[in-house]
Each structure stands twice: as structure tokens, then as C-alpha cells.
Chain A
């Protein structure tokens, strides 16, 4: 690339064409503008007049200048000018662009993408094959043309972890296979294991150049809850000047909207790499915090997810013997208090008062009987997800609770009395605990030798017992049983909560068991030992930018791995779930230090700063086009063609270029026009089925019926309309004719809502399955089945075949049956009320008030009514005279139908006319 005055040209020789501009000047000025033809009778007087100056009508200098500039812009534009051209870094042969691709680079990832783009452009100009490789997501490097990579830059994303050993091994293996290449390594600025090995391998292959930002990477260690305050620790990779970072506590507000609940400012002192701030939050607010993040840093490392460790569970402790004066160590709640005090909020009081506070767990220590109200509200609370933890004791052993029938608030039935082993008054040794079974929540906890059980309550053997045991003694008798109740669970320790019956409450195992049951939560991060034997499902995982996304189908993770294993493709940072416990795995652990990446002296390190190249060719060519457009106008104006109307036209064209027509307007107008059309006259309508032939026939049928009505009655309907159920307003039409075809689409839910409104507000739908020639009524025909599907969501009352005294039989004509093209089967209408009775002296019963909402039949009435444009019947009906008679009856049915729609049960009321006349006569 040749650089002239700071602008690079990809085709500099083309600029020589600029030399031709002066010649162009001479040519252009010599050529007069094109002549105008003009009719002019006075030409007779002009004959013989010659121009005084043959080149007088020369192009004005400014127009010439405009044209010259336009041509110059084209020439320069085609020469490929580039602003801020990148100087060639030199080198040839294949180029590997290597990215760390870790969370540490996520905050400034777009800078790195720009840098990659610049280097790709440079390599493209040098015709170097390029490969791009992310260490955190390695693939075998494939050297391709730079252009092929340009489109993929946007797809390069960082990963929320540092490259693992296995990844680095695989990368090194691919390097071994490749021949020599140069490398540009875009580093995220953090050290990680194996980085030196990669560097050594790359230096062995060719030149290595490192691009790395000098600014510090900031991480946020997991929040720790200490002394009533949340302690937040921010770390940075490079010690530098004093700096404040703002830490945001994000969480959901009571309305469920994610917002910043609190902010704290941590200050890095000059030269320090760690900054701490204590954030004091009310426990309600603290429980809502989902994560902490450093403002302005959107990387997974600057985000610390909160889990149960921040959340203090509320535990209600209820004992049955609190009224007894006794030694403190004998109190059934003493050990529970001790065990839970550090990690949970303890509530004391009456059960009925505590339940409305919605504690996370309720502990009943040796409480045998509960009042009905207590039992009821406790059961309701458990069913909504509460954890009821019961301890046995003398009272429970002595009571009859859950003896014969299983109490809802007890996991098992109990035998009378219980047992005591190894005591002074019994045989045998005190029993130890059996190892926890695999399905048990306690699986993986180690059992101290000194835990022994002297007495316990015994579970009745039941079919369900085996499923409910989660811990047992060495001899197999259940020690802890559990059952699910609604969304919650009931757990029974078959021993006391104090040391009377066993040494369990004295041991550390007791606390761990309570933790596993999620009665309490650990303070601080759990260790691998704590999580031995558990499996954790990912719920949400962090991406490198610190955003939570759904975990999808990621596999579960073993507890120790979750606690200790390094993050990698198989272990993403995020929120993990096991039963009722919830654990967060953060990128920065409590001990993780941020070590800056350091490079040996012989590796050149550059910053990330790039000034993007800006090709100017497009701008110049556009400018040239604009100038030529201006030249057109100017030429027209000069030659006198741009005057008056033409100028107005030109201005209108220019304006029209900027103004696009607005399509929405026309639709409104159309809607209004259709509404006017539908309401100016009575309009019969049919539903569009999508079958063109059926729709056409329905249209013709309704128009034929309209003719009949016009000839015979005072109803004069307008041109029938086709109705699209999805879009058209139905309220304008007194009745809808709906021919049923087996493959017409089911209308949408909205359309059904409007159809139901239509039916309730007095509309009538005539369903015509058009198959009475072949099928009876029911689901036997495809049309009938479709009708059932179509009509299922409709609000249709009970139906019956038209009774002989239905008003439809006499609204205009007296009819016995209602044939169409087929004189098939029954026609169904809304059923008469069951109490309709025929009064003496009346020819018919007083049936429904109002219009039946549906009429269902299959006689293909539209086919019988249909006439073409000249008024002739379109389809044959029956044979000969009998057929014509049937068509006449079909027409009469149509008349009766429309009359029924329009007049309702007016004809039924006519039976009262004699009585009314009689009364008037008096």
C-alpha cells in the first residue's frame, strides 16, 4: 500500500488519471449543451440569422468545476484510499492469532475483536493464511484466507474459565503437527498454568508477538457473612494507584424485578492488590441478594454469585417440655440451639404464632400431640414447602400418636414403647450408626466412632418404610425417617434432640446432618469433604461476561468436584442445586489470586490500541454520484428545461425519494369502507372456508337467496359478503352461513372469542356440512367430524332436531321440512326448554325466546339457492318437476331462515292475536 499524505492507496497508479483532468476541462467547455427543439412560428423571421459567436454558449465555469470534481472523486475513489492505513508489521507465511479467551478478557472483548479484525485485514493484504485459536476452546488450527475469518470474528466469544491443562495439552499436540508459523498472541493479562509451555512451543515455531492491555483485571471474591455484615473482597491483578471500585448487590425486589439492592465502595490502596468492604444489610434484603458485581466490569470474575451461605434460615424451635424446671443441659432444645445458632435465625414461641412468620424449618422436639388447629396449619405449611423436623422422646414414645394409623405429620407409624439398648437396665451394647445409603441425603458423611444410641422409638414395619429410612442403626433399625408431604417434607429423628437417648447431638455429625437437611446452612464455602457423596445439578451458569443463563442439559457435578476442581468446559461457574440446598460456584474462590501474565524479554509485547482503518472509496464515489446528480439539475436549469412545471416536478421527485408511502393508512380506509358496505344495507355473509369452489358457491347461494327475498318479501339484502373470521368484524351481519369442508383451518382462539361474542349478542350461524346425500348426522362423515372440531370451542346451547312447532316452520311460509340440494336429514336448532308445554287451544308450544344461535344441517342449501349472474340456477336439484319443487322449498326455507333471524319469535307471539283482538273488541 502506498501512503500519500497519511492516506493509503491500494491502487495508486490509478491516480495518474488525474493528469487527464485538464484535457477534460478543455473538452467539456467546448461542447455546448444539447439543443432544445422548440416549435415557433416566428422561425420564418429567424431564417438567415447566424450566431455572432459560434462558441458563445459555453458551459459556465462552476458547472465545469463540478464535473471535474466529480470525475476526480471517481478517480480517487477507485484508487482505493484508506484513512489510517496500518503499516505492515512485516513477516510472511502462515499467521496464528491466538487468544486466551478467558473471562478476564470479557470486559474489553470488543477491543480484542477489533484487534483481530485489524490483523486479519493486514494478513489479507499480505496474502498470509491465518488461523484463529482460542486457548479456552481449542480447535485444530486451520490456516485459511483472512477473508474467510473476517465473518467469524463476531462469533469469537470468551469462556468463563481459564484454559485447563487438558486443553493446553491438546493445543500443544496440534502445534506439533503444524509446520512453522508466526503467532500474534492476544493475552487477557492473567497468568494460568501451562501458559509458559504454550509460549515455548510457539517460539519454537516462529516469531511470537504478544498484545496485552496494561490495565488491571479486577475480580470479586465470594461474599462472606461475618459478624452481621457481608464482607466483600475485590482483587486486582496489577498493583497500581489507589482506586475505588463500586460493588453492586443485585437481587430481586419484592415485585420480582432485578435491581440493585445496595452498593458499597471498596478502595484499593496504592500498591495493594486487595480491597475489602463490609456491607451491612438487613436479613430480609440479604436473603434477596442473588449476586454481587463490580460496576463497570462485565466479566464472570467480577461477579460473585450468592448462595445459601448468605442466607440465614429461620428455624422455629418448639419443645414439649419447656414448662418444666430442669437443668439446661437436659433441655431438649439445648443442643439444637448450639448447633443452629451460628448459621440460622432461631425463633422461639408458640407454634401457632410462629407459622405466620413462614420459617424455613420447624423443629418439634418431643412434641407428641398438637391441637387440631395447630396440626392443620402445620400440615398446610409443610405442604407449601416447609420442613418439619421432629425428634422423639419420652412423650412421643408414650403417646398414641401414629400408632394405628400414620399421622400426617409423622413419616412412619411407631410401635408402642420403643426400645432401649445398652442401658443399665437392658441387655446388649449401645448401637452405632450404619453407613449412610447412597440415596440418603447424608450419603458421604463420615460417622464418628463414638456416636451410639441407647434408646429410640421403633418404626412399625410398613411397605413404605424402606423408602422412608434415610439413616439407620448398625442393626438396621431406622434412626431417621423422612416422607414427602405436598411440596415439603417431614423428618423424624427416632432419638431425642438432647443427649438422653444417644450421643448423636454431641457429635459434629449432628450439625452436618442438619446442614444436609437444609435446616441450617454452612457459613463460608463448603469443602470437598463436606460435599462428599452429593451430586449437584447446575441451575444457572455464568457466561464469561457475568450474565446468568439457563443451564439447559448440563450434567450434574459431584460435590467434591464442585468444591475443589478447577473450572473448565465440564464445570461452569454458576448456581448448583441439590435437594433444598443451593450452592454457588464462582470464578474467583476465597483463595484465588490474580497473577498478571509476565513475558520474557525476548517476546515483544504491545498494547491493544488500534486505530481502525477507514476506507474512503465508498464515500468518494457517493460524493461523485451526488455531484453528478447536482450536475443534472444544473444542466437542466442552464438549458432552460428546469422552469416552472418542470422545476416543480423535479422538486417533487427529489422529495418523493425521501418520503415513502405509509401503507397503514390504506388499511384503515379499507376497513371503514367494508364496514360502511356491510351496514348500509342488510348483508348476508358467509364464512371463507379456503376452498375456492365452496366459497364461490356460498356467495352465489346467498346472492340467489337475496334475489328470492327481494322478489317475495320486504327484506332487500345487499350484495352478500365473504367474512374472514380472523380479521373481519362480525357484528355487522345478522347471520353467517358457514359451509363445512373437511380441510378448512380451525380459527384462532381470538377468532373463537369473537365468534362467541357474536353468538351471545344475538348472531346466528348456519352450519352446513353439505353431505346429507351420503351421511347422516354425526361424526360419520369427514365434514361432520370437522364440524365437531370447528364447533367445539363455540358457546353453543343444547340442540335438538327442529320440532314440528318451531317458529322456523312458520316465520313466512308454512314448512314441514327444510330441504336444500339434498332433502336429507334433520336440522338441529337450540333445544326447547324442558318445561315448554302446549297450552290448550294453542297450535304450538311457546318455545325459546329469541333466535337460535346455531342451525346445523347438511342439506347444502347454498347449492340450491345459488344462481349465476343472469339469475339462472347454477346446480341441478333433484329431477324434473319434483326437483324444481324441492328448490322452491329450499328457497322458502331460506326466506323463513332470514325472517327468523330478523324477527325472532314474532310469529310465535302471533298466536295471541285473537286474544288481543278479542280484548280490543270489548
Chain B
């Protein structure tokens, strides 16, 4: 069994609990890619909407002769106006995400990267099932539809990145699309700030979900300790880890505040998820965040 198929299977299980997710399509104009979102009105689209009597000004080419031949009136076939939302995912594949504080068999916590991928792919499954186009930020996997795309996403999610704190990928953002960023956001903030500003400039709105291990929140350490990043690039030695707890938690809160402020400024939404909690709640939150306002 290939590794991605397992991730795919679990993602499908998570996603099956929620109704298809409809991304909010706010900005119609300028969207070059047509989607399936019926606007309940005639317009550009593939699906049949209604026949209406031909009016003056209609081009003759528009007349549907099969319908018109039944009677004396001439009908024009109208199609439903449809639009598909493009959603771009960014899941932090960096080394810092490959961390869990508890590996004992009974109470084992998943690695952060595992949870982030699961959430990312589950969201993708929901979106694709709802007819959205889902892709990755950057140029590697542009948004597409269909089950094949889920599979491609799953494949991309198995590629580990050895960078310690991976910067968010913000290139080639499609204007007015939606974006989902999953990371622990413990790395350098300038990249995140840059990415969000850039996204806001292009009218992209989205969700930031910070995935944290419980130990990163609680800081349950004592005694003389050398802390090392997972990639090994950073280290910090302390003689009394217990004393650092308060200050660490202050810094973490400050980081969250900063992220939240950033989101508020750019119209994004910010959430925090701990690997100790269930993935379902996080997926529900993501669903509501992406779906916000449409239902």
C-alpha cells in the first residue's frame, strides 16, 4: 500500500462526517475559471437552466430547434450561471511539524504534521466533493477538480521538507481565490506576514490554522535541559526549564495575538488546534470558516 493511500483513506473517513462544503463565492467577476456553483439564474454554464421564448435581440443561433419544433413558438435554451471557487492549500511540511511529545503506545499523540495533513486533505476532499477546485499554493499543483486531484494532493502531502521552519508558499496565488494555511507558525513571522499581505493584495481570503502539540502549549519541563529544534538548527540551553515556562507561554500568546491581528487586518480567519484534541472538531471549524456566510 502506498503511503498516500492511507492518508487518503483516513481523510475520506474524516470528511464523510460533514456535508459537502461549499466555498463561498463572493467575487464572480474576474474569475477566469468556471465552476459548478449554480447561481440559480441563467448565465454562463454547462447545465440546462430553462427554455424561454426567443425575444428580439436573441441571435438566431441561440434558438433551440428541438424544442421549437414542437410548437409554433421559438425557444431559446438558457444555461445556468455557474462559478467554481478555487481553494489553495498550504500544509507546512517542515521538520518542526514532525514532532509529538508522547510516543507511549497507549496515550500516543500524532505528530503535528500528521494532523495537519489529515486536516488539509479532509478539507480538500470536502471541497472537491462540493465541486470546488483545490490545489496547492505555488506552482506545483494548480487547482483542479475530480478524484484524481485528491490523489495528487495526497501524494504531495507525503513529501517531507527538511527545512526546519518552512516558510509559507505564497507564489502564484490566484486572485480572489480562497486559501487554507496549516502550520504551527512557530518560525519566522516575516514570511507569514509577507504571505498574508500578498494574499490580501490579490483579494485572496482564507484560514490560518495553527496546529500545536499540547506540550508546546503547556511547556511541562524541569531541570537543566538543552532544547533542540527537530531539524537541529536551533538549540537553547537552560539550567532551570521550569522557570522559563511563564515567559515561554507569554511569548506563545504574543505570537498568537500577532497572527490574529494579521488575520484581522487581511480578512483571514485564525484558529488554533492541538493534536491532543479530536481532528473532527478542527475540521468542523475549518468547514465553518470556509463556508462562513454562504449558508
Contacts from A to B (Cβ < 8 Å): 32-47, 49, 51-57, 638-640, 644-645
- Chain B's nearest CB lies how many Å from the CB of A761? 54
Q: What is the bound-complex CA distance between A638 and B96, given in angstroms? A: 28
Residues 211-233 (chain B) with a chain A CB within 8 angstroms? 213, 215-216, 219, 221-230
28 contacts between A and B (CB under 8 A): A32-B224, A32-B239, A35-B224, A35-B237, A36-B226, A38-B226, A38-B227, A38-B228, A39-B228, A39-B229, A41-B112, A41-B229, A43-B235, A45-B186, A45-B248, A45-B251, A45-B255, A49-B238, A51-B238, A51-B239, A52-B243, A53-B243, A57-B223, A57-B239, A638-B223, A639-B223, A640-B223, A644-B104
Q: Could you say which residues of chain B place their CB within 8 Å of the CB of A40?
A: 99, 215-216, 221, 227-229
Q: What is the bound-complex CA distance between A36 and B240, given in angstroms? A: 11
Q: Could you say which residues of chain B place their CB within 8 Å of the CB of A36?
A: 223-226
In the complex, the answer to whether B219 meets A42 with C-beta atoms within 8 Å is yes
- Given the known interface contacts A41-B184, A43-B234, the answer about A57 and B248 at a Cβ–Cβ threshold of 8 Å is no
- Given the known interface contacts A42-B186, A644-B104, the answer about A56 and B228 at a Cβ–Cβ threshold of 8 Å is no
- Tell me if B60 counts as interface (CB < 8 A to partner A): no
Q: Which of B97, B186, B239, B244 has the most CB of A within 10 A?
A: B239
Q: What is the bound-complex CA distance between A54 and B240, given in angstroms? A: 9
In the complex, the answer to whether B223 meets A49 with C-beta atoms within 8 Å is no
In the complex, the answer to whether B240 meets A44 with C-beta atoms within 8 Å is no
Q: What is the bound-complex CA distance between A35 and B234, given in angstroms? A: 16
- Tell me if B66 counts as interface (CB < 8 A to partner A): no
B240 partner, pick from A38, A42, A57, A638, beta carbons under 8 A: A57
In the complex, the answer to whether A34 meets B224 with C-beta atoms within 8 Å is yes
Residue of A nearest to B185 (CB): A44
Q: Could you say which residues of chain B place their CB within 8 Å of the CB of A34?
A: 224
Contacts from B to A (Cβ < 8 Å): 96-97, 99, 104, 112, 165, 184, 186-187, 213, 215-216, 219, 221-230, 234-240, 243-244, 247-248, 251-252, 255
Q: A42-B227, A56-B240 are in contact. List 11 more A-B contacts (CB 8 A).
A: A35-B226, A37-B226, A37-B228, A38-B227, A40-B216, A41-B184, A43-B229, A43-B235, A49-B248, A53-B243, A644-B104
In the complex, the answer to whether A41 meets B236 with C-beta atoms within 8 Å is no
- Chain B's nearest CB lies how many Å from the CB of A647? 12
In the complex, the answer to whether A49 meets B221 with C-beta atoms within 8 Å is no
Q: Could you say which residues of chain A place their CB within 8 Å of the CB of B229?
A: 39-41, 43-44
Q: Could you say which residues of chain A place their CB within 8 Å of the CB of B165?
A: 44
Residue of B nearest to A51 (CB): B239
Q: What is the bound-complex CA distance between A32 and B238, given in angstroms? A: 11
In the complex, the answer to whether A57 meets B216 with C-beta atoms within 8 Å is no
- Given the known interface contacts A47-B236, A56-B239, A56-B240, the answer about A41 and B226 at a Cβ–Cβ threshold of 8 Å is no
- Given the known interface contacts A38-B227, A41-B99, A49-B238, the answer about A640 and B243 at a Cβ–Cβ threshold of 8 Å is no
In the complex, the answer to whether B248 meets A41 with C-beta atoms within 8 Å is no
Q: Could you say which residues of chain A place their CB within 8 Å of the CB of B252?
A: 42, 45
A39 partner, pick from B230, B244, B251, beta carbons under 8 A: B230
Q: What is the bound-complex CA distance between A53 and B240, given in angstroms? A: 8
7 smallest CB-CB distances across A and B, nearest first, come from A41-B96, A43-B227, A35-B224, A45-B251, A56-B240, A40-B227, A46-B236
In the complex, the answer to whether A640 meets B216 with C-beta atoms within 8 Å is no
Q: Which of A40, A45, A47, A56 has the most CB of B within 10 A?
A: A40
Q: Could you say which residues of chain B place their CB within 8 Å of the CB of A645?
A: 104
In the complex, the answer to whether B228 meets A43 with C-beta atoms within 8 Å is yes
In the complex, the answer to whether A33 meets B236 with C-beta atoms within 8 Å is no
- Chain B's nearest CB lies how many Å from the CB of A30? 12
Give the dominant DSSP class at A's interface.
loop
Q: Which of A35, A37, A52 has the most CB of B within 10 A?
A: A35
Residue of A nearest to B219 (CB): A42
In the complex, the answer to whether B219 meets A639 with C-beta atoms within 8 Å is no
Q: Could you say which residues of chain A place their CB within 8 Å of the CB of B187?
A: 44
Q: Could you say which residues of chain B place their CB within 8 Å of the CB of A51?
A: 238-240, 243-244
- Given the known interface contacts A41-B96, A42-B186, A49-B248, the answer about A54 and B239 at a Cβ–Cβ threshold of 8 Å is yes
- Chain A's nearest CB lies how many Å from the CB of B256? 11
Residue of B nearest to A56 (CB): B240
Residue of B nearest to A44 (CB): B186
Residue of B nearest to A55 (CB): B239
In the complex, the answer to whether B240 meets A46 with C-beta atoms within 8 Å is no
Q: What is the bound-complex CA distance between A33 and B247, given in angstroms? A: 23
Q: Which of A46, A57, A644 has the most CB of B within 10 A?
A: A46
Q: What is the bound-complex CA distance between A645 and B108, given in angstroms? A: 13
Residue of B nearest to A50 (CB): B238
Q: Could you say which residues of chain A place their CB within 8 Å of the CB of B112?
A: 41
In the complex, the answer to whether B226 meets A56 with C-beta atoms within 8 Å is no
Q: What is the bound-complex CA distance between A37 and B241, given in angstroms? A: 12
- Chain B's nearest CB lies how many Å from the CB of A871? 39
Q: Could you say which residues of chain B place their CB within 8 Å of the CB of A32?
A: 224, 239
Q: Could you say which residues of chain A place their CB within 8 Å of the CB of B219?
A: 42
Residue of B nearest to A638 (CB): B223
Residue of A nearest to B222 (CB): A640
Residue of A nearest to B187 (CB): A44
Q: Which of B227, B237, B243 has the most CB of A within 10 A?
A: B227
Q: Could you say which residues of chain B place their CB within 8 Å of the CB of A43?
A: 227-229, 234-236
Q: Which of A34, A41, A47, A52 has the most CB of B within 10 A?
A: A41
Q: Which of B96, B223, B226 has the most CB of A within 10 A?
A: B223
Q: What is the bound-complex CA distance between A35 and B239, given in angstroms? A: 8
In the complex, the answer to whether B244 meets A42 with C-beta atoms within 8 Å is no
- Chain A's nearest CB lies how many Å from the CB of B80? 48
Q: Could you say which residues of chain B place their CB within 8 Å of the CB of A640?
A: 221-223
In the complex, the answer to whether A57 meets B227 with C-beta atoms within 8 Å is no
Q: What is the bound-complex CA distance between A36 and B213, given in angstroms? A: 20
Q: What is the bound-complex CA distance between A105 and B252, given in angstroms? A: 89
- Given the known interface contacts A36-B224, A36-B226, A37-B228, the answer about A42 and B239 at a Cβ–Cβ threshold of 8 Å is no
Residue of A nearest to B247 (CB): A49
- Chain A's nearest CB lies how many Å from the CB of B257? 13
- Chain B's nearest CB lies how many Å from the CB of A371? 100
- Chain A's nearest CB lies how many Å from the CB of B53? 66
Residue of B nearest to A45 (CB): B251
Q: Which of A39, A54, A644 has the most CB of B within 10 A?
A: A39
In the complex, the answer to whether B228 meets A33 with C-beta atoms within 8 Å is no
Q: Could you say which residues of chain B place their CB within 8 Å of the CB of A41?
A: 96-97, 99, 112, 184, 186, 213, 216, 229-230
Q: Could you say which residues of chain A place their CB within 8 Å of the CB of B96?
A: 41, 44
Q: What is the bound-complex CA distance between A45 and B236, given in angstroms? A: 10
In the complex, the answer to whether A35 meets B225 with C-beta atoms within 8 Å is yes
